[in-house]
A and B are shown apart, each in its own frame.
Chain A
Amino acid sequence: MDLLNAFIAVLNYVIVPATAYGAQLALGALGVTLIYGILRFSNFAHGDTMAFGTGLTILVTWGLQAMGVSFGPLPTALLALPFGIALTALFMLGTDRVVYRYYRKVRAAPIYITMVSVGVMFVMNGLTRVLIGVDEIRFADGERFLISAREFKTITGLAEPLAIRSTQAITLVTAGLVVWALFWFLAKTRTGKSMRAYSDNEDLALLSGIDPNKVVMVTWIIAAALATTAGTLYGLDKSFKAFNYFQLLLPIFAAAIVGGLGNPLGAIAGGFVIAYSEVAVTYAWKKVAMYLVPGWTPEGLLQLLSTEYKFAVSFAILIIVLLFKPTGLFKGKSV
């Protein structure tokens, strides 16, 4: 029984939240890795793209709610998401036209384009603040729990509760669908194949008649969709605050690099590696230890690092990977 309780505690406090967080990071890292693979620069504006897209989605959500539209047990934000994606994609395409296209034409150094993305980051950060403010916003509505703690306890009779919030389930389902769609697109469609070809070898791709403008355009649209989805899911699961999204940049980059920059599969793996380590290292293991070793009450909380240092975990993993395997766990590009 104690073993089961320990397992449920780990499930409840580590595995379930880390899986949802990992899926959100994976979607973010997919966007970063895709831009890196095809446009060949590290996009510092990605965190703010997520914030911007989520901000738009929240505005549409409020509009829908004001009109009395709801999505039954699911959050209204999911209905608003396509609108948020479309608007963000339009903005990204506009940004590419006004800003990035020139640097592709003159073949500027990647680090220079990264610098340019810092300018875009500033603009998007400011626009998000103007649009929706700096305060914390909770916009999840609909059913709160898939399994609530009390239900679980009465059904199983265990001492430990297990709660699965509906936002966590929605995150997993949505992320799964998005990843499936992305991989299907990349593997099966003509445009997807040309994107992969362009990413592998630009010159050869151009030689075989692939239209680079189309590839770039589709990349931005997909990146906008991934960023907005990741941001909205994160916001539903926790809350929306523009600055937190900026801070997500570090775990997202860490995930993309750990997986191997430019490798979509690696980005997903990296997202989960980062999320599980972050949650496991900052979780207080006291309760689990007490179940596993009967009669032992540890003095401390058995917490390796306090939660404020969760960024240190992504950083440490990043450094370890850079030291021992700079191309990432799955082979990524290195320019």
Chain B
Amino acid sequence: MSTHQPSAAKGGKWRAPALFGALAILFILEGTVSNAMFSGHWDNALGILRVGLISAILALGINIQWGYAGLFNAGVVGFLALGGVAPVLVAMPPTEGAFEAGGWGILFAFAVAIVTLVIAVALHQRMTGKARGWVVAGVLVLGFFSYRALFDPAVEAIQAINPAATGYLGGLSLPTLISWPVGMALAAGAAWIVGKTALGLRSDYLAIATLGIGEIIVAVLKNEEWLARGVLNVNGIPRPWPVPYETDLQQDPAFLERMSGLGMDPMVGSTLLVKLLYVMLFVAVLALLLWASQLALNSPWGRMMRAIRDNEVAASAMGKNVTGRHLQIFILGSAVLGLAGAMMISLDGQMTPSSYNPLRYTFLIWVMVIVGGSGNNWGAVLGGLLIWFVWIKAGEWGPLMMGLLSQGLGDGALKEHLLDAAPHMRLVIMGAILLLVLRFSPRGLLPER
């Protein structure tokens, strides 16, 4: 938000390249120098970069919502998790007999639920008088019980199929890449529901509603075993298109030959190649998104969005539909979050719903956007990569520093406690970074022009 920040950024047009250069040096140091601060393994550097790129995409999605329109989405983790369902539904092999057993039942139950809602909404709009509330409530109750009557047996039938290994619907056995747009669509759908109710009201209602939908989506993923096995996790999700498996590479004579030509151990070479391919794939997606976002931001549409953000009253006086535009941009931003979620699950190769922690996947992303510079797409990317690097490394530096600090202490309960607590210090560090940036440099590292 551009409410109170007078000073222009120092460094002018060289600021962005300089900061990205510094970031690159950080990653190069991580890959080459081995000391207390850096690991000196390219494997680690590329590993951090891979997830950093996904974080950058998440930050881009939040920047679309916050930077362009001033919308506070506190449920990033939910949209991310929903996007993560897509690789399971698209790329996993279907469970034999599951669809016949309960798939149709579940679809039918959903149809009943949707019809109920449509009827309820229609009745609510058409009817007047005292009976309206009772009739609508009656329809909803009746619909809910028929939905449960259809849904419960279907779920039971699906979960009964080989529960140790499957017990869920499975997917469509399609290429993993296809799941990425599907993830976008799923997240966009959820965003439509939330946006439709919470937008147009006070600005922090959206924050609270998204906080809620975030928790609920994660709860659904943890508990609905027919969908993605819940806390039992889905393993072995196929990798996206150009990325091979290390074991296949190590058996490929052409690859072995090239490795011996380079004088490299094929084991090390194969892991590096896989990580490098992931990085290239993610960079391609990020570049595409960045290009599209920049285009949108500088188009008349982007100018309109910023006009709405900076003065809603004036913009609506000019005939702009503020709530409608907000809904549009909220859906767009959430779709990007869903894409990142699908990419993350394709990277991990497994769906582990219990790992979706709001501090890590909602509020850390916010730190990235604010630090990088809200309203500036390049800033969001910079913030995503930088904060992810710091977050990972702070997890290692914290105990190290605590060890140094507590060297003077004798062995005892206090020292042990301090060492145990050290990894949590990175939360405090992140909070402090966020507060410092908000206070002293609210426009972030790369301010909006």
Instruction: List residues of chain A with CB under 8 Å of any chain B CB.
Output: 41-42, 44, 99, 102, 106, 108-112, 114-116, 118-127, 129-131, 133-134, 246-247, 249-250, 253-254, 257, 300, 304, 306, 308-309, 311-312, 314-315, 318-319, 322-323, 326, 334-335
Instruction: List residues of chain B with CB under 8 Å of any chain A CB.
Output: 1, 3-4, 70, 72, 74, 144, 152, 197-198, 201-205, 207-209, 211-213, 215-216, 219-220, 222-223, 358-359, 363, 366-367, 370, 420-421, 424-432, 434-435, 438-439
- List 17 additional contacts besides A119-B431, A311-B215; criterion CB under 8 Å: A119-B432, A120-B435, A122-B367, A123-B428, A124-B431, A125-B359, A133-B420, A134-B424, A246-B358, A250-B208, A253-B211, A309-B220, A312-B216, A312-B219, A318-B209, A319-B198, A326-B201
Q: List 24 A-B contacts (CB under 8 A).
A: A42-B207, A42-B208, A102-B439, A110-B204, A111-B72, A111-B203, A114-B204, A118-B434, A119-B435, A123-B428, A125-B431, A126-B428, A126-B431, A129-B421, A130-B424, A250-B212, A304-B144, A308-B223, A311-B216, A312-B219, A315-B212, A318-B208, A318-B209, A334-B201
Residues of B within 8 A of A123 (CB): 427-428, 431-432, 435
Bound: A236/B208 CA distance, A: 27
> What is the CB-to-nearest-CB distance from B102 to chain A, in angstroms, rounded to a whole number?
16
Residues of A within 8 A of B429 (CB): 126
Bound: A247/B1 CA distance, A: 27
Contact residues of B: prevailing secondary structure: helix
Bound: A119/B197 CA distance, A: 27
Residue of B with least CB distance to A131: B421
Bound: A109/B1 CA distance, A: 9
A129:B197 contact, CB within 8 angstroms:
no
Task: Specify which of B209, B216, B424, B427 is in contact with A309 (CB 8 Å cutoff).
Answer: B216
Residues of A within 8 A of B201 (CB): 322, 326, 334
Task: Specify which of B4, B70, B209, B359 is in contact with A322 (CB 8 Å cutoff).
Answer: B209
Bound: A81/B204 CA distance, A: 32
Bound: A42/B3 CA distance, A: 18
Contacts A108-B4, A109-B1, A122-B430; A334 near B197 (Cβ below 8 A): no
B421:A247 contact, CB within 8 angstroms:
no
5 nearest A-B residue pairs (beta carbon): A122-B431, A126-B427, A123-B431, A126-B428, A315-B212
Contacts A109-B3, A120-B435, A246-B358; A314 near B427 (Cβ below 8 A): no
Residues of B within 8 A of A122 (CB): 359, 363, 367, 427-428, 430-431, 434
Residues of B within 8 A of A108 (CB): 3-4
Residues of B within 8 A of A110 (CB): 203-204
Task: Specify which of A118, A254, A334 is in contact with B212 (CB 8 Å cutoff).
Answer: A254
Residue of B with least CB distance to A312: B216
